[in-house]
Chain A
Amino acid sequence: MALFKKTAHELKGLLESKEISSEELTKSYIERIDSIDQKVDAYLTVCKDQAIEKAKEIDKKRVNGDELGALAGLPIAVKDNICTKGIKTSCASKMLEEFVPPYEATVMKQLNKEDAVLLGKLNMDEFAMGGSTENSAFKVTKNPWDLERVPGGSSGGSAAAMASEQAVLTLGSDTGGSIRQPASFCGVVGMKPTYGAVSRFGLVAFASSLDQIGPLTKDVEDMALAMNAIVGHDPYDSTSAPMDYPNFAEALRNDVKDLRIAIPREYFSDGVQPEVKEAVLKAAKAYEDMGAIVGEVSMNIMDYALAAYYLISSAEASSNLARYDGVKYGMRTENFNNLLDLYKQTRDEGFGKEVKRRIMLGTYALSSGYYDAYYKKAQQVRTLIKDDFDKIFMDYHLILTPVAPTTAFKIGEKASDPIEMYMGDICTVPVNIAGLPALSMNCGFDNNGLPIGMQLVGKGFSEKKILRAAYAYEQSITKSFVRPSLG
C-alpha cells in the first residue's frame, strides 16, 4: 500500500519503528502532489525543498535519540490564511499575493514544536469568505469525488487535499462552517474546536469573534492527534482560554452508553436534501443501537441564525479588512493621484467580489443610525442562540445534525447567487455564533456517490465527548478511510 494511503497514526507508528524515514515519506507526498494536484488544485504554495530539509532534520533527531514531538516527521499542510514565517500567506487574495509574514502563527509554532513537516499552503475562498473555494483569486479547487464539483469552503483546499491524500493532515479555519462543510463535501473528518481552545494569533482575521482554526483528518484517531497538537492557552491571544486541556487520545473509546444525543427538528426541514436527512437519521439510529439515548428537540431561534451571522461576521470583517489599504504591505495600485485614490483603487483591484460584498454589508451594519437595528440586534440574537443551545445541553450531551443541506454542488452552480450560497451555511453557523465545538464526519453517500456529512455539536470544551461519539460511530460503520478514485 502506498504510503500516502495511510492514516497519520499508522504513519506515526512506521516512523517510530524506523520502518520508514520522514524524508522518504515527505518525498512520497511531494510526488503525490506533483501527480495529482494539477487535477485537484488544492495547493497554492508547495515548499518542497523546505519540507525535505525539515524531514531530514527530524530523521537526524530520531537517529540521535533526541526527544521528538507527537507529529514528528509527518507531512502536513495548512490553509493559506495561517501565517507561516518566510512562506507566502496570501489568503487567496490579490491583496496579499506577495505577502510573506515575518512571524509565525501560534499554531505553526505548535506544529513545529511537535516536529511536523510543512508541505505547503492550501487554497481557500478569498479571506475565508465563501462556501465553495470558488472565491479564490488564483484557482478553483475541485472536489476529488467529482472534479466538476466544488470541495466546499472556505477551507476547500484543506478538505480536497485530505480527500485526495496530498497531506497526512491539514489545518483549516472555521468562521461559519468553513472546516465542517468542506470536510462533509469531501468525505473527511473536520473539527471546529471551542472558541478560545486554539490560538488565533497569526490567523488572518475574517471575523474575530467567530474564527477558529481546526484540523481536517482521515479519521477520528488522527483528529485526536491533531487536536492535541494545536489546543492550548496562548498569551498572545486575549480570547484564548487559559485552562488545562485533556489528552484527546483518551477519548478514543468505543462506548456511548451514557451519552444523550439531541436531534433538533429544525435541522431536518424541507430545504434539506432527502438523502442527507436519511443518512444523518440513520446515524442517529446507529447511536441508539449502540446504547445512546436519542431525543428530538426544537431550536426556535434557528430562523434568525443566518441573518445574525452575516451581520456580525460582515461587520467584523469590514473592520478587520480595513488594514489592506495599499499603504504598508500587500498590494498597492499603480493608478492613484492622491490618498483617497490610493485607498479606493487598491481595494478595488485587490479584493474580489464576495469580499467587497461583505465589507459593504458590514460597513452598513455598523454605520451610525443603523448600528442598533442591525449589529446590536444581531448580537442580541446571538445571546438567544447561546441560550437555546444551553437549554438543550441541560438534558443532552451532544447534538446531531446534518453539516449542510446538500452534498457538493457543481462548480458555478451557485456562484451567481450569493444568498443561495449563504443558505448552505444554515446548519453550521449557529455553532460559531455560540462558540461551541463541533465535528463533521462522513455518514454515507448520495445517489451520485457524493459524501454526506453529519455534525456532532457539544458544550464548550467538550471536544473529548464529541471525539468519543465520533470514534464510536466510525468503529460501528467502517474501519478505513473511504477514498475517491482519482485514477
Chain B
Amino acid sequence: MFHPDYEIVIGLEVHSELKTESKIFCGCTTEFGGDPNTHCCPICTGMPGVLPVLNEKVVDYAIRAGLATDCKIAEFSKQDRKNYFYPDLPKAYQISQYDLPLCYEGKVEVEVDGEKKVIGLTRIHIEEDAGKLNHERNGSLVDYNRCGVPLIEIVSEPDMRSPQEARAFLEKLRSILLYADVSDCKMNEGSLRCDINLSVRKKGATEFGTRTEMKNLNSFNFAVKAMEYEAKRQIKVIEEGGVIVQETRRWDEAAGKSISMRSKEDAHDYRYFPDPDLMPIVIPRERVEEIRKSLPEMPDSRRIRYEKDFGLSSTDANILVASRKIADFFETATEHSGNPKLAANWIMTEIFRLLTEEEKEEGKIPFGPELLADLIKLIDEGTISSSIAKKVFEEMWNTGKEPAVIVEEKGLKQISDDSTLVTMAKEVIAENEKSVQDYLAGKDKAVGALVGQMMRRTKGQANPGKVNEILRNLLNEMK
C-alpha cells in the first residue's frame, strides 16, 4: 500500500487520564461531565495567591503504569512549569515534568501478523489537564471542569514502522493501563488520546526524516487513517522533489486528511523551569516495591500461561487477555469446567457476538463465569448437543438462569436412548426413498439429508454423531 522504497517511522505520545477521585493539585472531583465550571475551585482555576498541593495518589498511579510497562522508577523527580498562553489554561502554565520524569526506559511488546516486536518507552510523566473551550456563535466560553485532572503522558521511542504496529502498540498499551487499573481509557471521554509523530525515509537510510506531529486523536481507527494518509502525503512530497516541513498538523476526520496547523517557526518556547511552589518528589524504593506487589499479572504473562497451560493458540490467547475482565472470566470458567478450549470458544464467538466493544472492556456479561462452566459441562457430559447449547446460552443471556434449569424447563435434554433413535431412523428411511437409493448407489453424502431429517424430528435434541452411526448401520444392512 505504501511506496516500496520507503520506510515509515512512528513515535507516539499517549495521554491517559488517571482514575483518581480528586484532581492533581486540589480536592475537586475528576468526574467526567457536569455543568460547566461546577467541578472547580480557586486552586484549579488559578486564582491569585493559590498554591498547588500534589495528590500523592497520582504518583502511585503513575508508578503503577510505569511498573506495568517495565519502566525504571525515578528516585528523585520534580515538577516543572510549561509556560504558554491559552484561554483554557488558567495559570498560563501547565504543571508537567520536563527533564526528570517519574518513569523512564520502559517497553511494550506487540505482535503484528504473528511477528513479535518490542517498542521502547522513553518516559512516563505526570501532568495536569487543561480546560475546554466551547465555541459559541458570538464568542467562546471556557469550561474549567477538566483543569487539573491528572494525566500521564506516555512517550514511545520512534520504534514503530507501520500504522498497524502503532495500532497494536496503542491497543496493547490500553490493555496494560486497564490491567494496572490506573485509567478507564474511555476514548469517547478523552481519557485516552494520542499524538502521532511520523516521518518517512528511504529504506536503508540511517538518519530519520523530518517528522510532523498530529495531535489529540481519540480513536484508534482515526489514528490509523491519519498515519496512512500522512505517510502517503510525505512520500508524495519527497517523490515530487519537495521537502517535509516540521509542523503540527490536525487530522480532519470528515475530510479524511491532515491539515497544517502551525509550523516550527512560530513554535512555542515553553520556558520550562522547576515549579517553585512544589517540592521535589522523592520516591523510596519500598514504595515502588509495595506498588509492584499490588499489580495484577499483566497480559503478556497471562498469554504465555494460556498457551502453555491451556494449549490455546497465541492468537486466541491474545484476544482473551486484551481485557482483564474477560481474561478473569475465562480463567474462572476454565477452572470450573476443566475445558479451556470450549471456554475460550464460547467467549470468543457467542459472548463477543453479543457484547459491544465497550462492554467487552468492562467484561459486562449478564451471568457469571461459573454458569458458562456449567453449560460447558452439560455439553461435555452429552446432556445437550452443541446446537441446543446455543439455545440454552441465549436463554441464559436473557434471563441469567442456570443452564441446568433452562434445560429442565424447556425439555431440551439430548435423546441418547438408542431404541428411540432406531425406531425413528427406520421411519425416516422408509419415508425418504430417494436419499436411501442415492446412498445405496454409492453417494455417501446422501446420508446427510437423512441426518437432517432426524435432527428435525428430535428438535435438535439428538446427538448428531449417534444419529449418523445408527442410520449408516441400518442402511448398510440394506446393501
Contacts and interface: CB of A to CB of B under 8 A. Distances in A.
A327 B37 CA distance: 14
Nearest to A240: B51
A157 B14 CA distance: 51
A330 B49 CA distance: 13
B90 interface: yes
A84 B275 CA distance: 25
A363 interface: yes
Interface string A372-414: 0001000000000000000000000000000000000000000
B93 A322 contact: yes
A103 B271 contact: no
A201 B46 contact: no
A437 B52 CA distance: 24
Interface residues of A, number: 44
Interface in A338-375: 339, 343, 363, 366-368, 371, 375
B81 interface: yes
A83 B48 contact: yes
A204 B49 contact: yes
Interface in A51-73: none
Contacts of B273: 315, 319, 366, 371, 375
A323 interface: yes
B48 A236 contact: no
A367 B49 contact: no
Contact of B53 (A82, A207, A236, A367): A236
Interface residues of B, number: 29
Contact of A328 (B46, B49, B272): B46
Contacts of A102: 42, 47
B87 A327 contact: yes
A322 B53 contact: no
Contact of B48 (A101, A316, A327, A367): A101
B109 interface: no
B85 to A, nearest CB: 6
Interface in A199-219: 200-205, 207-209
Contacts of B49: 81-83, 89, 101, 105, 200-205
Given A238-B277, A319-B93, A322-B83, A201 B271 contact: no
Which of A89, A315, A325 has the most chain B CB atoms closer than 10 A to its own CB? A325
Contacts of A204: 48-49
Interface in A87-108: 89, 91, 96, 99, 101-103, 105
Interface in B36-55: 42, 45-54
A236 B90 CA distance: 19
A328 B50 contact: no
Nearest to B271: A366
Contacts of A239: 51, 276-279
A320 to B, nearest CB: 9
Contacts, number: 101
A245 interface: no
Interface string A311-333: 00001101100110101111000
A274 interface: no
A246 interface: no
A237 interface: yes
A418 interface: no
B48 A201 contact: no
A209 B276 contact: yes
B51 A319 contact: no
Main DSSP-derived SS at the A contact region: loop
A143 B217 CA distance: 61
A235 interface: yes
A316 B276 contact: yes
A322 B48 contact: no
Contacts of A82: 49
A91 B277 CA distance: 20
B51 A368 contact: no
Nearest to A364: B271
A186 to B, nearest CB: 26
A238 B92 contact: no
Given A328-B45, A368-B269, A319 B81 contact: yes
B279 A201 contact: no
Contacts of A343: 85
Contacts of A323: 46, 48, 90-92
Nearest to A363: B271
A397 B87 CA distance: 50
A350 B263 CA distance: 31
B59 interface: no
B337 to A, nearest CB: 53
Nearest to A201: B51
Contacts of B91: 322-323
B92 A322 contact: yes
B42 A103 contact: yes
B142 interface: yes
A101 B47 contact: yes
Given A99-B48, A238-B51, A367 B271 contact: yes
A204 B49 CA distance: 4
Interface string A285-328: 00000000000000000000000000000011011001101011
A329 B49 CA distance: 13
A371 B81 CA distance: 14
A205 B278 CA distance: 14
Contacts of B51: 200-201, 236-239
A322 B89 CA distance: 10
Nearest to B279: A238
A219 to B, nearest CB: 30
A202 B42 CA distance: 10
Contacts of B278: 238-239
A424 to B, nearest CB: 24
A102 B91 CA distance: 17
A89 B47 CA distance: 12
Contacts of B85: 322, 325, 343
Interface string A140-165: 00000000000000000000000000
A185 to B, nearest CB: 26
A399 B227 CA distance: 65
A91 B48 contact: yes
Interface in B239-293: 269, 271-273, 275-279
A201 B275 CA distance: 15
A202 B276 CA distance: 16
Contacts of A238: 51-54, 277-279
Given A103-B47, A201-B51, A322-B85, A368 B90 contact: no
A83 B47 CA distance: 10
Nearest to B92: A322
Contacts of B87: 325, 327, 339
Contact of B83 (A99, A208, A235, A319): A319
Contacts of B275: 208
Contacts of A316: 276
Nearest to A211: B276
B50 A202 contact: yes
A103 B273 CA distance: 28
A434 B54 CA distance: 25
Which of B52, B91, B276 has the most chain A CB atoms closer than 10 A to its own CB? B276
Interface in B10-66: 42, 45-54
B142 A327 contact: yes
30 contacts: A83-B48, A89-B48, A91-B48, A96-B48, A101-B49, A103-B47, A105-B49, A235-B53, A238-B54, A238-B277, A239-B277, A239-B278, A239-B279, A315-B273, A318-B271, A319-B81, A319-B83, A319-B271, A322-B92, A322-B93, A323-B91, A325-B85, A325-B92, A327-B90, A327-B142, A328-B45, A328-B46, A328-B142, A366-B83, A366-B271
Interface of A: 81-83, 89, 91, 96, 99, 101-103, 105, 200-205, 207-209, 235-239, 315-316, 318-319, 322-323, 325, 327-330, 339, 343, 363, 366-368, 371, 375
Closest 3 CB pairs of A and B: A322-B92, A208-B276, A209-B276
Given A238-B278, A318-B83, A319-B271, 5 more contacts: A103-B42, A205-B277, A322-B92, A366-B271, A375-B273
